């Protein structure tokens, strides 16, 4: 029976708070690295707090294998540094306790942590990575939040460039609008100038509704100018004009099954099965290529001769060695010439 001595309890009580503190600090640092890496995919999307919290929760789980070794190293350095600074290690050494015996409770604890980390990475980490990358790719596919700035061109609406001089934030009315419609290509683009307008989303948030007042539109009619030297255009003056633009502002989650089939979503047993299947496929393809190379004639010489027996079964036998009457001119072979090459079958 293993007996826990007071010294072991003292070492563990000194180590565990430091370990928890350093683990939280290291996890926070790697999470900040994750945030700075994907900050462009998260800002301006109008995501809810629940989606951001879920993404960071799964990201924290995937960062545990990176933060755990750093936390163990820092906590170990800190505890033994404190013991040495307070001359506690000297007192233990003077009492006949070796350094290895002093480290024994931490060694046992590290073995338990290593076993737990293995099962965590094999069972929990694939699920967390699957959910995190699926959620991250779903966030990337989401359309940006429609917040049109004043005095600059806004190009986050697919197929459109929008410019407004100023806007009334109380009523939502936009003034001095200029819209470039390039949804049909730059050669068939159209320009809309409007004194004022207002935009809103449909009930399902899949389309953007533009209501424009007092303006003009200019449209290039290059499609209708087939065979004509000059390209006509159309000019329209309107008092009220309504435009419906496809703009899906909803957050749609992707299916996790596609990411689950990737290597990030598989444990050790599934990875071994995948490696075996891939290796078998590579071997079969290599065998097909090798058979194709062996059966392909080189310099009009077949490496095998095909014959048939009395029952009609085809038999493939190696071709006898080839004897060249004189040295081969390699340059003529590469030029496709047969001059200078004499081949005789034995």
311 pLDDT higher than 70: yes
> Quick one: pLDDT at residue 112?
94
324 pLDDT higher than 60: no
229 lies in the same domain as 278: no
277 lies in the same domain as 207: no
CA 131 to chain centre: 13
Which of 100, 119, 141 delimits the end of a domain?
A: 141
23 pLDDT higher than 90: yes
Whether residue 320 is contained in a domain is answered as: yes
| Total number of domains constituting the chain | 4
pLDDT tens, residue by residue, 44-92: 677 778 888 888 999 999 999 999 999 999 999 999 888 888 888 888 8
> Quick one: pLDDT at residue 262?
80
Closest among 68, 77, 71 to 21, alpha carbons compared:
71
pLDDT tens, residue by residue, 201-237: 777 777 788 888 998 988 877 665 555 566 677 888 8
Which of 80, 109, 141 delimits the end of a domain?
A: 141
278 lies in the same domain as 325: no
290 lies in the same domain as 201: no
Whether residue 260 is contained in a domain is answered as: no
Cα–Cα distance between 340 and 331 in angstroms, integer?
10
Q: In this predicted model, which residue has the larger pLDDT, 120 or 308?
A: 120
Whether residue 146 is contained in a domain is answered as: no
122 pLDDT higher than 60: yes
Whether residue 254 is contained in a domain is answered as: no
* Choice among 12-21, 149-158, 293-302 with the minimum mean pLDDT: 293-302
User: Considering just the CA atoms, what is the radius of gyration of the chain in Å?
Assistant: 37
Rounded to two decimals, the pTM is 0.59
> Quick one: pLDDT at residue 345?
40
Q: In the chain, pLDDT over 70 holds for what percent of residues?
A: 78
> Quick one: pLDDT at residue 218?
85
13 lies in the same domain as 97: yes
Which of 141, 169, 204 delimits the end of a domain?
A: 141
> Quick one: pLDDT at residue 340?
45
User: At 109, phi and psi to the nearest 5?
Assistant: -65, -40
> Quick one: pLDDT at residue 20?
94
* Choice among 170-179, 194-203, 224-233, 234-243 with the minimum mean pLDDT: 224-233
99: left (phi over 0), alpha (psi -120 to 50) or beta: alpha
Q: Which two tokens stand for residue 246?
A: 């496809």
Whether residue 172 is contained in a domain is answered as: yes
Residue range 90-104: mean pLDDT, rounded: 83
Strands, E, within the chain: which ranges? 153-154, 160-167, 174-181, 190-201, 207-220, 233-246, 304-308, 314-318, 322-324, 343-345
> Quick one: pLDDT at residue 19?
93
Q: Which two tokens stand for residue 24?
A: 């939280």
333 lies in the same domain as 208: no
User: Residue 87's CB: how many other CB atoms inside 10 A?
Assistant: 11
162 lies in the same domain as 70: no
> Quick one: pLDDT at residue 158?
78
17 lies in the same domain as 122: yes
Which DSSP letter does residue 253 get? P
> Quick one: pLDDT at residue 159?
82
Residues of the domain holding 125: 6-141
177 lies in the same domain as 66: no
Whether residue 137 is contained in a domain is answered as: yes
Whether residue 257 is contained in a domain is answered as: no
Cα–Cα distance between 171 and 163 in angstroms, integer?
18
240 lies in the same domain as 327: no
Longest dimension (CA), the chain: 104
Cα–Cα distance between 102 and 287 in angstroms, integer?
60
Q: Return the residue matching tokens 């087939």.
A: 226
Whether residue 251 is contained in a domain is answered as: no
Mean pLDDT of the chain: 80
> Quick one: pLDDT at residue 30?
92
Residue 133, judged by CB atoms within 10 A of its CB (0-12, 13-18, 19+), counts as buried
Q: Return the residue matching tokens 């957050």.
A: 251
Q: How confident is the model at residue 26 (pLDDT cuts 50, 70, 90)?
A: very high
Q: How many residues does the chain have?
A: 346
Q: Which two tokens stand for residue 218?
A: 């200019």
Angle at 327 between CA 326 and CA 328, to 5 degrees: 115
236 lies in the same domain as 306: no
345: helix, strand or coil: strand
95 lies in the same domain as 179: no
């Amino acid at each position: 029976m293993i007996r826990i001595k007071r010294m072991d309890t003292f070492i563990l009580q000194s180590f565990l708070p430091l370990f928890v503190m350093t683990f939280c600090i290291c996890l926070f640092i790697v999470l900040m690295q994750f945030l700075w890496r994907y900050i462009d995919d998260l800002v301006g999307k109008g995501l809810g707090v629940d989606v951001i919290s879920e993404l960071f929760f799964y990201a924290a789980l995937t960062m545990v294998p990176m933060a755990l070794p750093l936390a163990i190293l820092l906590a170990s350095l800190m505890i033994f540094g404190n013991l040495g600074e307070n001359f506690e290690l000297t007192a233990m050494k003077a009492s006949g306790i070796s350094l290895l015996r002093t480290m024994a409770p931490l060694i046992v604890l590290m073995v338990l942590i290593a076993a737990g980390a293995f099962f965590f990475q094999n069972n929990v980490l694939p699920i967390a990575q699957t959910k995190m990358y699926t959620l991250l790719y779903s966030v990337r596919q989401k359309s940006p939040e429609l917040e049109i700035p004043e005095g600059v061109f806004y190009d986050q609406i697919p197929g459109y460039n929008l410019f407004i001089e100023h806007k009334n934030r109380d009523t939502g009315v936009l003034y001095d609008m200029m819209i470039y419609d390039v949804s049909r290509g730059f050669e068939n683009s159209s320009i809309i100038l409007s004194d004022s307008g207002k935009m809103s989303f449909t009930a399902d948030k899949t389309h953007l509704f533009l209501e424009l007042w007092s303006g003009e539109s200019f449209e290039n009619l290059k499609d209708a100018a087939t065979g004509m030297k000059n390209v006509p255009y159309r000019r329209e003056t309107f008092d009220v004009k309504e435009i419906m633009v496809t703009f899906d502002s909803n957050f749609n989650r992707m299916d996790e099954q596609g990411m689950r089939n990737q290597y990030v979503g598989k444990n050790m047993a599934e990875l071994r099965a995948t490696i075996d299947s891939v290796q078998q496929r590579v071997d079969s393809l290599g065998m097909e290529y090798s058979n194709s190379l062996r059966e392909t004639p080189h310099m009009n010489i077949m490496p095998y001769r095909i014959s048939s027996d009395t029952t009609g079964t085809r038999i493939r036998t190696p071709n006898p060695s080839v004897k060249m009457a004189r040295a081969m001119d390699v340059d003529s072979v590469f030029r496709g010439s047969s001059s200078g090459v004499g081949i005789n079958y034995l």
